[in-house]
Amino acid sequence: MDVIGVIPARYSSTRFAAKVLAPLAGKPMIQHVWERAKQSKVLDDLIIACDNELVEAAALEFGAKVVMTSKQHTCGSDRISEVVNPLDVKIVVNIQADEPLIHPMMIDSVARAILEDSSVNMATIKKRITDPILLSDPNVVKVVTDKNDFALYFSRALIPYLALGSIAAPVYYKHIGLYAYTKDFLFTYKNIPVSDLEKIEKLEQLRVLEAGFRIKVIETKFDTFGVDTPEDLERLKSYLERGQ
């Protein structure tokens, strides 16, 4: 296989227990993620990697391929690694189970970034910020890139900073946590020690940059809506009810 998508689905969550099974428009949230990912044109296979029998049963009921993984994993990349380790695959796409509005073209774009350029080992997504309210929100991670669209830095702070007297008009980008890796780099990534910048910002992707590796960042016109709390889910329900 060239490309496999894996949706790591952890049942327990500190801020929102069992959120992957939370009902949204008559379906568990993870089903929305899976249905959208199934529309991808590049995925040769799609697997839900879970750690709980309730998630497994729900996923099997709506027709997903499921792999039960260890309950000891503390991050999605470790869960994904367990799933893909025995598989002959070139590229792995890490699809977040709490992003029910993920667009299949996002999945295609990060996978193609690696398929079409052998120098790229890891890719992710950015979206131009148009709502000024998001600029000061630390839960909206910002990213800046170089001229070749490789990440320079990710931050919860507003970057780039607009210095007093600057005549440049900054463009701000939100980072969307969808990742693709070569299978080889996935295992490199999971073994990189936690870095100082990661500890400061609480952003796992910073360990990659701090270790000297590069992350290709693909711009998208689509947006997502991450669900971290019950309040996020209620806001998403209202958003969908408004038909937006």
> How many Å apart are CA 92 and CA 119, to the nearest integer?
16
At 244 the pLDDT is 52
At 167 the pLDDT is 82
Quote the mean pLDDT of the chain. 92
Tell me, yes or no, if the pTM score tops 0.95: no
What type of residue is 4?
I
At 76 the pLDDT is 80
If 0-12 CB within 10 Å is exposed, 13-18 middle and 19+ buried, where does residue 76 land?
Answer: buried
The pLDDT-based confidence of 225 (bands split at 50, 70, 90) is confident
The structural domains of the chain, with segments of one domain joined by +, span 3-239
Tens-place pLDDT, residues 84-126: 999 999 999 999 999 999 999 999 999 999 999 999 999 999 9
Percent pLDDT > 70 in the chain is 99
Tokens of 226: 């991450």
Does residue 74 register a pLDDT over 80? no
Tens-place pLDDT, residues 191-208: 999 999 999 999 999 999
CATH number belonging to domain 3-239: 3.90.550.10
Tens-place pLDDT, residues 128-142: 999 999 999 998 999
